[in-house]
């Protein structure tokens, strides 16, 4: 199960599924004292695998079976004499109760009707108790509590303490170092986050580390935030290559471009035809994701693939590399190809790729990627200065030429954002004062920049106590209804 969480590879999902099936068959023929606890844990793991393979209904049914088994022990925990078994029950109950308590109220009523019940307080209490047993599931309880205090009930100091303690007690645990890197990143310590990810990869060992796609993706993203474009490109390229199924025309072009830097000249016309169709047709003989485990058919399941391709394209743009246009087109095709894992975010990045295909100057792509993935608040001063310098370089090239109005507004929006985050709201306000006349002239394909620029203008005005100006630009921003990376709700709340 650990390999599945780290690699996301189909072969590991298949192997783990077979192992769980074997355990289930063995447990069916046992009537030992603690077999129900092991069966509950097995069902919990199985539901995760079913979710990964897209079998959501089966996953839900299996989760309910696991919950019913765990629930039996809630009121008789003290009778469980075996400490390790008690730790397993505490972990299962805590995990269920915590996450069930976090579902939206509209769903919680339905879940109660079918037998689920959650309690945040009890969930945390059970997980804390499991952590203190110092048994086989204690480290997972610590990691779960660490994750809980990162986002669900934010307390970064407590999360950092829990994970630092776990790292001392379980120095070889990959998950501890991996989640600890997230805490460092949340604290805007990107350099520390990179170090902790390298530690996690070291703990994987020589055989597993090259296959740890999810950790390598995080590492690539942190390199991206540190503006280490070549290192980020290497990580993203490897992960994208590992995710190819070769079940579509697009994957064949992507594989060739990753291997040789570009596609062969005689294939360019057919790729352009594919781009014009904007849909990647799939082969009729495509097997299901987990149907075969042979190495030649093995691959990694990566959600938000269009986002990954946009990040890779950002690396190409930052380094002024050839073939950027190819990767923008790949992103567009991937975003609009029907897929079970495709999301609105993928579609937005597909549309952003088209925007940059329309733009002559594409140097700001990596910074828009950071911004629209909502990672701009993690940037420290030198990173914000880098964005300011790159935006200024673009402004010098476009110099108020209406043919480059989108590039101009993009640079100005990024400047206002970077200056506001760095505390220079007086300078940001001065730039905002100039923006209104330009935003209203944006072409339809670049209008997405307007509400974002106006939002940051309002932030700068508020910091400078220019409340009337802030209200004015927010009202203007609310007039925009349909655009990619929509922040209408955020604007309304402000």
| Residue bearing tokens 């501890």 | 176
Indicate the range of 58-72, 274-288, 410-424 predicted with least confidence. Answer: 274-288
Q: What is the pTM of this model?
A: 0.87
Mean predicted lDDT score pLDDT of the chain: 89
In this predicted structure, the answer to whether residue 419 has a pLDDT above a threshold of 70 is: yes
Contacts of 101 (CB under 8 A, 6+ apart): 118, 119, 120, 123
pLDDT tens for residues 126-140?
Answer: 999 999 999 999 999
Contacts of 23 (CB under 8 A, 6+ apart): 38, 42
pLDDT tens for residues 152-184?
Answer: 888 889 999 999 999 999 999 999 999 999 999
Burial of 302 (0-12, 13-18, 19+ CB in 10 A): middle
pLDDT tens for residues 85-108?
Answer: 999 999 999 998 888 887 776 677
pLDDT for position 247: 62
Which of 214, 338, 290, 243 shows the shortest CA–CA distance to 55? 290
Q: What is the mean pLDDT of residues 428-451?
A: 94
Yes or no: say if 60 and 50 are a contact pair by the CB < 8 Å rule: no
pLDDT tens for residues 265-309?
Answer: 999 999 999 999 876 665 554 444 454 444 456 788 888 899 999
pLDDT for position 288: 47
Which of 329, 337, 388 shows the shortest CA–CA distance to 354? 329
Q: What is the mean pLDDT of residues 351-363?
A: 97
In this predicted structure, the answer to whether residue 4 has a pLDDT above a threshold of 60 is: yes
pLDDT for position 292: 45
- Between CA 241 and CA 203 the distance in angstroms is 24
Q: What is the mean pLDDT of residues 33-52?
A: 87
Q: pLDDT > 70: what percent of the chain? A: 94
Yes or no: say if 113 and 161 are a contact pair by the CB < 8 Å rule: no
pLDDT for position 216: 95
Q: pLDDT > 90: what percent of the chain? A: 63
Banded pLDDT at 192 (limits 50, 70, 90): very high
């Amino acid at each position: 199960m650990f390999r599945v969480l780290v690699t996301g590879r189909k072969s590991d999902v298949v192997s783990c599924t077979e192992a769980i099936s074997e355990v289930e068959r063995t447990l069916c023929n046992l009537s030992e004292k603690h077999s129900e606890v092991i069966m509950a844990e097995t069902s919990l793991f199985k539901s995760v695998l079913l979710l990964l393979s897209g079998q959501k209904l089966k996953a839900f049914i299996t989760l309910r079976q696991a919950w019913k088994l765990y629930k039996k022990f809630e009121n008789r925990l003290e009778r469980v004499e075996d400490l390790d078994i008690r730790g397993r029950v505490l972990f299962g109950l805590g995990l269920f109760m915590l996450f069930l308590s976090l579902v939206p109220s509209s769903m919680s009523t339905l879940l109660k009707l079918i037998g689920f019940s959650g309690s945040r307080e009890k969930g945390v209490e059970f997980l804390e108790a499991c952590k203190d047993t110092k048994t086989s599931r204690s480290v997972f309880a610590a990691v779960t509590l660490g994750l809980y205090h990162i986002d669900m009930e934010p307390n970064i100091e407590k999360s950092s303490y829990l994970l630092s303690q776990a790292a001392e007690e379980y120095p070889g645990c990959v998950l501890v170092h991996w989640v600890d890197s997230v805490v460092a990143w949340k604290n805007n310590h990107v350099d520390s986050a990179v170090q902790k990810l390298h530690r996690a990869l070291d703990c994987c060992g020589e055989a597993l580390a090259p296959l740890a796609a999810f950790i390598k993706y995080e590492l690539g993203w942190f390199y991206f935030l540190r503006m280490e474009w070549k290192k980020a490109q290497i990580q993203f390229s490897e992960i994208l290559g590992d995710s190819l199924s070769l079940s579509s025309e697009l994957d064949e072009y992507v594989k060739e471009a990753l291997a040789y830097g570009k596609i062969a000249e005689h294939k360019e016309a057919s790729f352009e035809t594919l781009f014009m169709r904007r849909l990647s047709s799939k082969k009729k003989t495509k097997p299901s994701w987990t149907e075969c485990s042979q190495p030649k058919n093995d691959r990694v399941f990566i959600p938000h693939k269009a986002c990954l391709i946009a990040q890779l394209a950002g690396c190409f743009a930052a380094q002024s590399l050839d073939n950027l246009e190819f990767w923008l087109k790949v992103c567009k095709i991937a975003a609009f190809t029907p897929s079970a894992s495709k999301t609105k975010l993928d579609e937005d990045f597909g549309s952003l790729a088209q925007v940059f295909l329309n733009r002559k100057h594409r140097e700001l792509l990596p910074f828009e990627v950071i911004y629209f993935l909502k990672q701009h608040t993690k940037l420290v001063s030198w990173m914000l200065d880098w964005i300011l310098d790159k935006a200024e370089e673009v402004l010098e090239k476009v110099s108020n030429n209406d043919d480059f109005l989108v590039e101009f507004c993009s640079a100005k929006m990024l400047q206002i954002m970077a200056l506001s985050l760095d505390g220079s709201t007086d300078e940001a306000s001065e730039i905002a004062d100039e923006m209104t006349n330009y935003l209203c002239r944006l072409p339809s394909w670049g209008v997405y920049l307007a509400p974002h620029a106006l939002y940051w203008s309002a932030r700068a005005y508020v910091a400078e106590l220019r409340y009337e100006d802030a209200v004015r630009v927010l009202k203007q921003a609310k007039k925009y209804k349909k655009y990619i990376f929509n922040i209408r709700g955020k604007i309304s709340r402000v």
